[in-house]
Amino acid sequence: MFGFGLPAKIKRIVGKEAVLDRPEDLMLYEYDAGINRSMPEVVCFPRTTEQVSRILKLSHERGVPVVPRGAGTGLSGGSVPRKKGIVIGLARMNSILEIDLANERATVQPGVVNLELSKAVEKHGYHFAPDPSSQKACTIGGNVAENSGGPHTLAYGVTVNHVTGLEVVLPDGRVVEFGGKSLDAAGLDLTGFFVGSEGTLGIATGITVKLTRLPESVATLLGIFNSVEDAANTVVALTSAGITPSALELLDGWMLRTVEQALHAGYPMDAGAVLLIELEGISEAVEEDAEAVRLICLRMGAREVQRAKDENERQRLWMGRKQAFGAVGRLSPSYYTQDGVIPRTKIPQTLRKIEEIGKRYGLQIGNVFHAGDGNLHPLILFDVRDPEQTRQTLEIGREILEYCLSVGGSITGEHGVGMEKLSMMPSMFTDDDIEVMTRLHDVFNPGALLNPLKVLPSARSCREAYNPGHPSLGESK
């Protein structure tokens, strides 16, 4: 595909030490945290916007596909190079360019790790509110691409609610500015349009974000239930009572035991489920809400409601939640994480449906998710070396998402469509819906050279994205 001299030209742009082209090196970039694989032909690591621009101009001239990549923590195949070509790794563009406390803004390069920005401004009483569970590793550029959420999405919103400006390199190499430091820039809201476009419209090389003041008071509660049904019904009850925690997470019994055995987070091993509930704000309001939450939990069947006594205990409870996926790795060679969204009132029946599906296929499914906004993350345990288990796992994932749609939900809340959910887009959108989205995409990326075969389906891409019998799980040959 490359043709004569292209790898050498890329080396001249970024330096030969910043280019990988040996098969043993490229293997590390053929996958993300999902299960799809496809190897690139070269990986490069620019340090500047100008270098990214030159690489995209080169790819545009030669007709070579390019895929941007952050930390590789994505779960929908978004950084998998389906048509091989060039992977642009943005990990070396990791500088915090400006912290503007007077205007409560920061400007960063895309490779800045999410948690590092919060650490940089914590001493000033601020943080960066979006907090994906992978925030110790994931990058802000990746958060922008996927419009990532996290446990505290319930109160603070997703990434798009915290990005005010972008420097973007378009697929043909042009550099443009969307938005800025102000809340409402003149003209069309191209910043909001770009966030969540999954690397298909351009590459963000500069990102201006809001900084949020740390709350005066925080209360972290652990509601302990004998059944997942009671915990799920409590989520509905809290919503009905008009209480909006900053975070409301649910772990079912199997999952909390898996986490506790691995991490010793303080979850009771004999519980059927736990709710991790966090409240933030003015001290008096937090205390009032904490008591109201405690009483609602007890009324809905909680056998106990614990409260973190100090910051260490709070961090331990959150460690269990944020490292839950990793804890599953001790028990299974592979797991498949789904990302369906449902109305909160449908949580009890949806968890019953997930349990029924798992029993029917004979595979274990653990549930740990953002209950407050109905964003499910069922983990299906399987052995990727077993073709039949792999086929069944993909079928389970599809059944779960189809059920989410049937109760008024969505196929993704924060992980993105990527290549994983391409075949399900027509189940959620009409042909006219998809045509409009495709026309908008083609304005920015008319040759589909930037992250091709992602997000928007064609007949061919749907067949490739969902092919359970294919050993590469949808790899484009």
Q: Give domain status of residue 322, yes or no.
A: no
Q: Give domain status of residue 317, yes or no.
A: no
Report how far residue 22's alpha carbon sits from residue 45's, in angstroms, rounded to the nearest whole number. Answer: 15
In a shared domain, residues 234 and 261: yes
The residues near 262 (Cβ < 8 Å, ≥ 6 apart) are 323, 326, 327, 330
What pLDDT, on a 0 to 100 scale, did the predictor assign at position 462?
Answer: 52
Q: Give domain status of residue 327, yes or no.
A: no
Q: Of 214, 230, 257, which residue constitutes the final position of a domain? A: 214
The count of structural domains within the chain is 3
Q: Give domain status of residue 39, yes or no.
A: yes
What pLDDT, on a 0 to 100 scale, did the predictor assign at position 282?
Answer: 96
In a shared domain, residues 362 and 342: yes
In a shared domain, residues 210 and 223: no
Q: Of 191, 214, 237, which residue constitutes the final position of a domain? A: 214
Tell the residue number behind the tokens 């032909």, with chain if given. Answer: 41
In a shared domain, residues 62 and 188: yes
What pLDDT, on a 0 to 100 scale, did the predictor assign at position 468?
Answer: 40
Which CATH number belongs to the domain containing residue 242 in this structure? 3.30.70.3450
In a shared domain, residues 77 and 142: yes
| Per-residue model confidence as pLDDT tens for the chain (477 residues) | 565 588 999 999 999 999 999 999 999 999 999 999 999 999 999 999 999 999 999 999 999 999 999 999 999 999 999 999 999 999 999 999 999 999 999 999 999 999 999 999 999 999 999 999 999 999 999 999 999 999 999 999 999 999 999 999 999 999 999 999 998 888 999 999 999 999 999 999 999 999 999 999 999 999 999 999 999 999 999 999 999 999 999 999 999 999 999 999 999 999 999 999 999 999 999 999 999 999 999 999 999 999 999 999 999 999 999 999 999 999 999 999 999 999 999 999 999 999 999 999 999 999 999 999 999 999 999 999 999 999 999 999 999 999 999 999 999 999 999 999 999 999 999 999 999 999 999 999 999 999 999 999 975 555 454 444 333 443 333
Q: Give domain status of residue 346, yes or no.
A: yes
Q: Give domain status of residue 155, yes or no.
A: yes
In a shared domain, residues 234 and 363: no
Asked if 409 and 399 count as a contact pair (C-beta separation under 8 A), the reply is no
- Neighbour tally for 173: CB within 10 Å: 17
Handedness of CA 142, 143, 147, 148 (dihedral sign): positive
What pLDDT, on a 0 to 100 scale, did the predictor assign at position 475?
Answer: 36
What pLDDT, on a 0 to 100 scale, did the predictor assign at position 459?
Answer: 55
Q: Of 214, 241, 265, which residue constitutes the final position of a domain? A: 214
Q: Which helix (H) or strand (E) holds 276?
A: strand 273-281
Tell the residue number behind the tokens 């205990």, with chain if given. Answer: 313
Amino acid at 243: I
In a shared domain, residues 375 and 272: no
Q: Give domain status of residue 474, yes or no.
A: no
Which CATH number belongs to the domain containing residue 449 in this structure? 3.30.70.2740
In a shared domain, residues 187 and 244: no
Q: Give domain status of residue 325, yes or no.
A: no
| Alpha-carbon distances of 283 from 89, 215, 289, rounded to whole Å | 44, 9, 10
Which CATH number belongs to the domain containing residue 74 in this structure? 3.30.465.10
Report how far residue 51's alpha carbon sits from residue 56's, in angstroms, rounded to the nearest whole number. Answer: 9
Domain that holds residue 134: 1-214
Stated pTM of the model: 0.93
In a shared domain, residues 409 and 340: yes
In a shared domain, residues 190 and 244: no
In a shared domain, residues 181 and 300: no
Based on its alpha-carbon atoms, the radius of gyration of the chain, rounded to whole angstroms, reads: 22
In a shared domain, residues 201 and 300: no
